[in-house]
Copies of this chain bind each other. A is one copy, B any other.
Amino acid sequence: MAQDDNTDVVIVGAGPAALFAVFQLGLYDLRCQLVDSLGSAGGQCAVLYPDKPIYDAPGFPEIDGIELTERLLKQASPFAPVFRYREVVTDFQQTPDARFVTRTDKGAGIRSSIVVLAGGLGPFVPPVGSVSAAEASLEQGLAGQWPLKRSGGAIAVDPERFETSTPGIFAIGDACHYPGKLRLILSGFHEAALMTQAARRICFAGGKTALQYTTSSSRLKDRLGRPADQA
């Protein structure tokens, strides 16, 4: 068997919330591998309404799923995420050093400190609503081994950290539920940002914990490959 891969974060799914999570985690120097059963990025957004206009993405009076996906891919690209398309999670294990091993149907084993469940549509999407397919895929991935607490037909998280009932496993986007949850793309972005703050505190325990801003932090700009002062 091939040797296991190593990364900081395994993300199950490659939809909008997952792609923005790559960007947010990258700002804090956390590298990601994304596992998605589909053949490309975008999740529901690209599968259910590739060229159907979306009117409620903030700052876009009108955009379609394809363009939004392309823009999120470009935004995440400085952090060189590894995409594992047409690959399905078959198993998670926790190692004695409190890391995870995610196994897939392609025989991969990926070691990480954090696992983020971010949708994960199956290859066959029902015509009306994708929730059940997403759920089914997650269930399949989790294989009943992780008794994650559920609510509202999804995985229960706290809206401060977006962590599931198993420490180190997070859920964002349509995979998660909390009081007031809306299945909107814009909420997935917020969830990705708050999850990132909790995840980096796990990965860099004892390190600096101040939030940084891309408009002002030279460290973040450096990671983005942007000039330190462009005003």
Contacts and interface: CB of A to CB of B under 8 A. Distances in A.
A114 interface: no
> What range describes how many residues of A lie at the interface?
35 or more
Interface in A169-202: 178-180, 182-184, 186-187, 189-191, 193-194, 197-198
A231 B191 CA distance: 29
Given A180-B159, A182-B193, A186-B190, A214 B59 contact: no
**Max count, chain B CB within 10 A of own CB: residue among A16, A62, A178, A215:** A215
Interface stretch (A7-15, A67-75, A90-98, A103-111): A67-75
A56 interface: yes
A60 B71 contact: yes
A145 interface: no
Interface stretch (A35-43, A45-53, A117-125, A132-140): A45-53
B49 A61 contact: no
Interface string A212-231: 01110000110010100011
Contacts of A184: 193
A118 to B, nearest CB: 14
A161 interface: yes
Interface of A: 16, 20, 23-24, 27, 49, 51-63, 68, 71-72, 74-75, 159-161, 178-180, 182-184, 186-187, 189-191, 193-194, 197-198, 211, 213-215, 220-221, 224, 226, 230-231
Given A49-B231, A180-B198, 10 more contacts: A24-B56, A27-B56, A51-B231, A55-B221, A56-B193, A59-B60, A160-B180, A161-B180, A187-B193, A189-B190
